Amino acid sequence: MITSLAIKNYALIEDIRVDFNEGLTIITGETGAGKSILLGALALVLGKRADIGSVKDASKKCVIEGCFSIKNYGLQNVFDENDLDYDPLTIIRREILPGGKSRAFVNDTPVALTQLQALAPHLVDVHSQHETLEVVSENFQMEVIDALAGNAELLKSYQAHFADFKTISEKLSAVKLQKENALKELDYNAFLYNELQQANLKKLDQQELEETFETLNNAEAIQEALSNANKLLDEDQIGSLQTAKEARLVLGRIKEFSKTFDDFWQRLNSAIIEIEDISTEMANSAEKIEADPERLFQVNEQLQTLYKLQQKHSVSTVLELIEIEAQLEEKVNTTLGLDEQIENLEKEKRRLRETTLKIASELHSKRTEAIPVLKKKLEDTLFPLGLPNAQFQFELSASEDFKTNGTDTLQLLFTANKGLAFGPLKKVASGGEMSRIMLAIKAVLAEYKKLPTIVFDEIDTGVSGEIANKMAAILHQMSKTMQLLSITHLPQIAAKGDHHIKVYKEDSNDLTSTHLKILGEEERIVEIAQMLGGKNVSEAAIANAKELLN
């Protein structure tokens, strides 16, 4: 329930604060006194977009703050879902800065307007004669039926399964699209993969192949070079090896004379041994190297294949090609494995569809049972409200298409008079009838569901006499289980209030401003008497007012 509303620098209001209590609070005042301003300020707290034109003094900040006691509302989940800080005593503040920028706060935490708008319907329901879209909404009508049917838990179960069904359906669509796109590339990827696989890359050593190719391709030149080098090292008389051996013999005669000479001999001896090894290996290599055109052709083929693959994939090493081969293998296997994934998802989708349809069928059955009860309650409530011949027809039909509240489609038909054909509510009901229908629906809902604070803005327009008394009785009955605020011009309704607030204007220093006043018992008598007979209150009006209040 709303416990207080503070308004500063808004429209004709300079700075006021009003406290609200449980039960039925009546708000009265002359036309133009500012009752709509009060509703406008409340609408800003509930997330309506701000307008700098509604600020009283554009050079100053406008602040509107509402305080709500919500400990019995069970709104913790709503706060969590909208990333809001929960507090049993929640304070919502709207600010309009001089530049026109608007800010919103919930429990002193800045919030986006969308967060505030998501929270608002759980706090206050404002209804006027001219705002009848809700009552003709199929979702709202279904909500009323579900309240009577006690479908709250069943709806939660349905919505959870429906959410899972949508998730699986979206995932299935995504995988099918993935497969569709992958199939376009499958042949090409498979070709590239097979091409790399046939190259047997893991067994290739590019450096070794290149060396083998160069060796085979230059076999004769290599043999000649090795032979010539060997001759230069080891040919009799003139070979370097022979010369070195002679030098070693000479040094052998003096090596005993000093460590230096011995070191010369040792170093030369090591060199001779190394040269002999080189000479022997060159001779062996020369013998091994043979022209092998067939082997040369094979090696050249392998290298050319390798070079082409590296050029095609813009890489320079065998290792990089091996990595690309692994990636292509994964792509090909993934594409080929999508069929199994699709099959599993389709199986899960069918299972969820069957389960969700079953729950939707239970909802349909319970709604079908609740409709006659709702029909009778609405018609019984409207009878004393001046619609004795009001009748409803609820056409509920099931389909296999999932919606947020089941698979049912509902059409509410109405007639206010005998002998006239039923028609869609929004087409055949007048504004006054629509207001009374909304009141009847809210009255029935109050028996089955914890409703937020309801504000009725002149819902009694066009009503008088005994019907006004009946309407007042309904409002009073509803207020026993919830907080009601009613802006009214009818003394019969005003007299039923547990609390009474008067809205009035005052002129001061050439400025007009709106004020609020909580009326005491004597002040209520005068206010209701004026509502009965005008400003000049008569003895009869006072007596009538007292009678109404009693």
Yes or no: say if 343 and 179 are a contact pair by the CB < 8 Å rule: no
Assign residue 104 the CATH number of its domain: 3.40.50.300
User: Would you say residue 359 lies in a domain?
Assistant: no
| Residues 189 and 328: beta-carbon distance below 8 Å | yes
With respect to residue 223, please indicate whether it lies within any of the assigned structural domains.
yes
| Chosen domain end from 314, 335, 356 | 335
Task: Verify that 213 and 72 share a domain, yes or no.
Answer: no
- Rounded to a whole number of angstroms, the CA Rg of the chain reads 47
Say whether both 105 and 248 belong to one domain. Answer: no
Co-location of 296 and 206 in the same domain: yes
Phi-psi region of 328 (alpha: psi -120 to 50; beta: other; left: phi over 0): alpha
116 shares its domain with 247? no
Take residue 264 and report the two structure tokens written for it.
Answer: 């010369």
370 lies in a domain? no
Residue 166 included in any domain: no
Show the CA angle centred on residue 22, arms to residues 19 and 24, nearest 5°: 95
Among residues 17, 19, 109, the alpha carbon closest in space to that of 63 is found at 17
**Assigned domain for 219 exists:** yes
Residues 60 and 198 reside in one and the same domain: no
Give, for 419, the enclosing helix (H) or strand (E). none
Instruction: Going residue by residue through the chain, which has 550 residues, state the pLDDT in tens, using 9 for 90 and above.
Output: 999 999 999 988 989 999 999 999 999 988 878 888 888 999 999 999 888 888 888 889 999 999 999 988 889 989 998 999 899 999 999 999 988 899 999 999 999 999 999 999 899 988 876 555 577 888 889 999 999 999 999 999 999 999 999 999 999 999 888 787 776 665 666 677 677 777 776 777 777 777 777 777 776 777 677 777 667 666 655 667 777 777 788 777 777 877 887 898 898 889 888 888 888 887 787 777 776 677 777 777 777 777 787 788 888 787 887 888 787 767 766 666 678 888 899 999 999 999 999 999 999 999 999 999 999 999 999 999 889 999 999 999 998 899 999 999 999 999 998 888 999 888 888 877 888 888 899 899 888 888 889 999 888 777 778 888 899 999 999 999 899 999 998 999 999 999 999 999 888 877 888 999 999 999 999 999 999 888 888 888 899 999 988 8
Structural domain of residue 490, as residue ranges? 1-123+452-519
> How many separate domains does the chain show?
2
Please check whether residues 268 and 197 belong to one and the same domain. yes
The answer on 108 and 191 residing in a single domain is no
116 and 187, same domain (yes or no): no
Last residue of one domain, picked from the residues 285, 316, 335 = 335
Which of 335, 355, 378 is a domain's end point? 335
Task: With respect to residue 157, please indicate whether it lies within any of the assigned structural domains.
Answer: no
Is 6 a member of any domain? yes
| Residue 186 and residue 116 share a domain | no
Domain shared by 200 and 113, yes or no = no
What type of residue sits at position 374?
Answer: L
Query: Would 14 be classed as within a structural domain?
Result: yes
Question: Do residues 105 and 238 share a domain?
Answer: no
pTM of the complete model = 0.68
Secondary structure class of 402 (helix, strand, coil):
strand
- Asked whether residue 211 falls in the same domain as residue 299, the answer is yes
